[in-house]
Structure 1
Amino acid sequence: MQPALLGRISDEGCVSLIGMAGAGKTTLASLLARRLGWASLDTDRLIEATAGASLPALLDRLGLEGFLRLEEDVVAGLGVKRCVVATGGSVIYAPRAVARLKACGPLVFLSIDLDTFLARLGDPGQRAFVVPAGMTLPEVFAERQPLYAAAADLTVTSCGVSPEACAAQILEGIVS
């Protein structure tokens, strides 16, 4: 795709993917970046590189609030261009991070249903999935859905379609 054809996305901006764990953010970020001729960035990997530890280790060491502060600080400090950003699912709890991502370009909410989320999540501890105290996985899912939808410039369902078809929907939505 030629930069002149980019409609809602600037050649100096980014596209950020938000949504639940298992929605395909990392896979689609790589696919979209290739199609746009841009870089891709996974904020979970950036947090690990910044802090020098895995996400599960950071969550254990910092606790929920400390982990969320670290995520917000790292994502709010992004200074990238021509990049597709795959975020961690809990970024939606970080207002400064969401504002930074929106300032860089469109936010795309990759929507999945509860059954798909539960099937793809596996062991939440292996993924460092953020679960506020006393909440079940379905409750976290229900809490986050309206937050993602409110922040998003575009919502695309990523379950039941191939990554290629999902990427095509995203490109259609952000370029038109």
Structure 2
Amino acid sequence: MEPTLLDRLSHERCVSLIGMAGAGKSTLATLLARRLGWACLDTDRLIEAHCRARLPDILARHGLPGFLAIEDEVVAGLGVRRCVVATGGSVIYGPRAVARLKAMGPVVYLAVDLATFLARVGDPGERAFVMPGGMTLSDVYAERQPLYAAAADLTVATCGVTPAATVEHLLQGIKL
């Protein structure tokens, strides 16, 4: 029989949240970590601390390949036991980072529909949104959906659901 997410959690350290900007990763990671009594790590904040700069400045200075290399380095440095990790939306472009997250424990894709994503994301420049090759937000959304789904152990929709209800769904889904 294939191991359940609960089996994986009993042997591993973290739950990682992936998804588009505006899906609620940072908010839900904080709430879930609090509920579990675990640490909460946000890779975007760790990248900013590592580079001593804001994400838009880091992306402007290093470009997409440089930014992804920094993100890979930050994810590779995660090693805290019993933590919930909120990732940046671009983590899905780093196969090493995704492999590392999966090795650390269950990966949960927080899914959001296109209209909600566009409403929540606002100005992509303010969020340091990674848009390869001049793609539009809708293009990036379409490109990333199958990548997130393929990487995830569990998918949870966050549209029209309160953060508290989503945390309950996460707790049931990962069988804690």
Hey, which bits of structure 1, 4+ residues long, moved more than 2 A?
none
Counterparts of 1:18 and 1:119, CA distance in 2: 19
Q: Tell me if the contact between 1:21 and 1:117 (Cα under 8 Å) persists in the aligned partners.
A: yes
Residue 145, structure 1, aligned to residue 138, structure 2: no
Structure-2 residue corresponding to 1:19: 19
Q: CA deviation at 1:80?
A: 1.4
* Unaligned residue ranges in structure 2 (runs of 5+): 1-5
Structure-2-length-normalised TM-score: 0.93
Map 1:93-172; keep pairs closer than 5 Å. Answer: 93-172=93-172
SS of aligned partner of 1:17: strand
Query: Separation in 2 of the partners of 1:12 and 1:151?
Result: 17
Can you list the C-alpha shifts for 1:13-32, whole angstroms capped at 9, x where unaligned?
10000000000000000100
**1: CA distance between counterparts of 2:124 and 2:134?**
15
SS in 1 for 2:85: strand
Give how far 1:12 is off: 5.1
> Distance between the aligned counterparts of 2:17 and 2:54, measured in 1?
21
TM-score (norm 1): 0.93
Q: CA deviation at 1:77?
A: 2.4
Go from structure 1 to structure 2 and tell me whether the alpha carbon gap of 1:8 and 1:173 turns closer, same or farther (over 3 Å shift). Answer: farther
SS state at 2:109 partner: strand
1:46 corresponds to 2:61: no
1:29 maps to 29
Q: Name the % identity.
A: 73
Q: Partners in 2 of 1:21 and 1:162 — Cα distance?
A: 17
- Give the Cα separation in 1 of the matches to 2:111 and 2:12: 26
| 2:14/2:85 contact within 8 Å kept | yes
CA RMSD, 1 decimal:
1.3
Which amino acid letter does the alignment assign opposite residue 137 of structure 2?
A: L
Quick check: 1:11–1:82 contact (8 Å CA) kept in 2?
A: no
Once residues 170 and 138 of structure 2 are traced to their aligned partners in structure 1, the CA distance between those partners, rounded to angstroms, is: 26
Q: Distance in 1 between matches of 2:86 and 2:51?
A: 18
Is contact 1:10–1:105 with CA below 8 Å preserved after alignment? Answer: no
Amino acid at match of 2:19: G
